[in-house]
Amino acid sequence: MSLIENTLGKVRRAAAAAAKPEPLAPRAVGVPLPAEALADSSTLPDYDYRRVAVDLTALRTAGHLPDASEDQRFAEHFRRIKRSVVAKATGAGALADVRLVAVTSPLPGDGKTFTSVNLAFSLSRERDLSVLLVDADLHKSQITQDLGLEDQPGLVDALLDESREAESLVLRTDIPGLDILPAGRSVEDAPELAASERMAQIVMRLAARNPRRLVLLDCAPVLAASEVRGLMQLPGQVLLVVRAGQTPQQAVLDAIAQLDPKRLAGLILNDARHGAATYYGYSGYYGALDDAARAG
């Protein structure tokens, strides 16, 4: 048994033995699923979506994409990771809830933004699905900054103005199947906005907009931003990114304790330098990304 397998085994056993938190409600308390989110998408207004080009060079420079020579290898890693996500989102009787996928990590630097960006690219290649990548890390807004979208209205603008529909702020990209909702303007009370009822309404409405769309939220780290805990209680799937050799085991356990186990779709082991990706089967899977040493 390898060192990584042994370590992951200890984490699984410790997580199972740890005191479990109070079961979370299917939805955050006081955050009902808005009635309009249940409406037939054909009744919702159409928008003249703005279009932007994705600067792949900027994403590579920022560490959100692997080196070009590694594209094919990482594409295969993320194909494996997305299979479980897509299966849940498109299974028989699947609701808008499970098309909402939150990517987070215990701590900064574990690689959750690297994972969000690459998973979004992988999902965009699905023939029958599209993906909306939402920069929901309002502390850093890394995706927004690295794509040069700071001057574009986005999530924060919709949070501040309830008359403004978040869908109208979505940007269509030159990558087929990939849309982006940037973070929007910078405000001091962004953390409080992220924890609000309005946030819950926005993300659920985005998920309900199109039955063939997955909404992928790049969220702040669970243990570094208290408002993320409220967002983690919303319906949907959660992917927790853990960095091999860096994320403390206790931080992993503490992060898991903040999550509804029914929503934890998988733990992704990032920066694993032990050969090809391997899956260990905890709450869906452990996905190991070899050499994915990216911060975010």
What are the structural domains of the chain?
A: 3-14+47-289 (3.40.50.300)
> For the residues of 74-92, what is the DSSP string, one character each?
HHHHHHHHHHHHHHHHHST
31 DSSP 8-state letter: -
Q: What is the pLDDT of residue 190?
A: 79
> Containing H/E element for 70?
none
> For the residues of 190-214, what is the DSSP string, one character each?
HHHHHTSHHHHHHHHHHHHS-TTEE
- Quick: pLDDT tens for 29-83: 334 444 444 444 445 667 889 999 999 999 999 999 988 888 888 889 899 999 9
- Quick: pLDDT tens for 80-119: 999 989 998 887 666 778 899 999 999 999 999 999 999 9
Question: Pairing state of beta strands 264-270 and 286-289?
Answer: parallel
Residue 291 has pLDDT above 60, yes or no: no
pLDDT higher for 193 or 151? Answer: 151
pTM of the model: 0.81
Residue 197 has pLDDT above 50, yes or no: yes
Averaged confidence pLDDT in the chain: 80
pLDDT tier, 168 (very low <50, low <70, confident <90, very high otherwise)? very high
